[in-house]
Amino acid sequence: MVSSLPHPTTSAGRDGLAALLARPAKAVVALDFDGTLAEIVPDPERARAHPGAVEALAALAPQVASIAVVTGRPAGVAVRYGGFAGVPGLEHLVVLGHYGAERWDAVTGTVQAAAPHPGVAAVRAELPGFLDRAGAWPGVWIEEKGRAVAVHTRRALDPERAFEALKGPLGDLATHHGLVLEPGRMVLELRPPGMDKGVALAEYVREVGAGSVLYAGDDLGDLPAFAAVEKLRSDGTPGLLVCSGSTEVPELTDRADLAVQGPPEVVAFLTALADTVRGA
């Protein structure tokens, strides 16, 4: 059955996969949402989990310690767009939203959240006028994310030029209000410091007492989670890093143990992993 799985290209990745298959009940399988479980779309509000994703997760979840969806979205939004609530088999699923500042778990169906950072409200109020002063970039728009604010350039006439032109000024604005700027795939997010997927993932892995960890992501915001898995590996916890392939983010592909081509292949990988674990 193992032959049905893609083979990691690194020795660390092969060790991580072997550890997961040897003791799946001690494994945490963690995944980004947008670009990993859901296709990247021009309007983030229209993103939905790829067909087959929930079925694959429901097949895998009972076999492992936990499945964690780690996302910059509000936890409730990711649950709604993913279709995760009330699904038989997903009792072992949690959503770490806003980079871990919010947490939804399938057992209770509730969201737990920390207090919001005051700088986000200040940026939210200032950003529309700030962008007007920054220059004419038709198609650039603001996404309200509750505990963060994002500026998207994908719809601009020249997305990459708008992205590069706004990165510096938005970085200064974030610093002024005690926030940090996180670049992504044609998106610039302003959010509180200390919130990243690496912190969220490392804390959750420690909480669960995982014996191994798999993380799959597609964007620059997933690099801290990759770094967290690399640190866990250096401390003796095997791990596997999967890149949901994108030519826009070669930094992630270069550090991955295994690269697959977007959400359809992520779903195929999760399905094969569930089948392999069940047949072991």
Q: What is the pLDDT of residues 232-243, one digit of tens each?
A: 999 999 999 999
CB 85 within 8 A of CB 56: no
Give the pair of three-digit tokens for residue 251: 């930094």
Name the nearest CA neighbour of 73 among 186, 191, 174, 155: 191
Q: How confident is the model at residue 268 (pLDDT cuts 50, 70, 90)?
A: very high
Q: What is the pLDDT of residue 47?
A: 94
List, in sequence order, every beta strand (DSSP E) within the chain: 27-31, 66-70, 93-97, 102-105, 111-113, 141-144, 149-152, 180-183, 187-191, 212-217, 239-244, 258-260
What pTM value is reported for the model? 0.82
pLDDT digits (tens, 9 = 90+) for 21-40: 999 999 999 999 999 999 99
pLDDT digits (tens, 9 = 90+) for 122-165: 999 999 988 888 776 888 999 988 889 999 999 898 999 999 99
User: What proportion of the chain, given as a percentage, has pLDDT over 90?
Assistant: 79
Is the pLDDT confidence value at 2 over 50? no
What is the rounded distance in angstroms from the CA atom of residue 171 to the CA atom of residue 148? 14
CATH numbers and ranges of domains, the chain: 11-113+195-279 (3.40.50.1000), 118-191 (3.30.70.1020)
Q: What is the pLDDT of residue 195?
A: 81
What is the rounded distance in angstroms from the CA atom of residue 268 to the CA atom of residue 280? 18
Q: How confident is the model at residue 275 (pLDDT cuts 50, 70, 90)?
A: very high
Other beta carbons less than 10 A from residue 121's beta carbon = 12
Q: Return the active site residues.
A: 32
Is the pLDDT confidence value at 280 over 90? no
Q: What is the pLDDT of residue 246?
A: 67
What is the rounded distance in angstroms from the CA atom of residue 155 to the CA atom of residue 58? 35
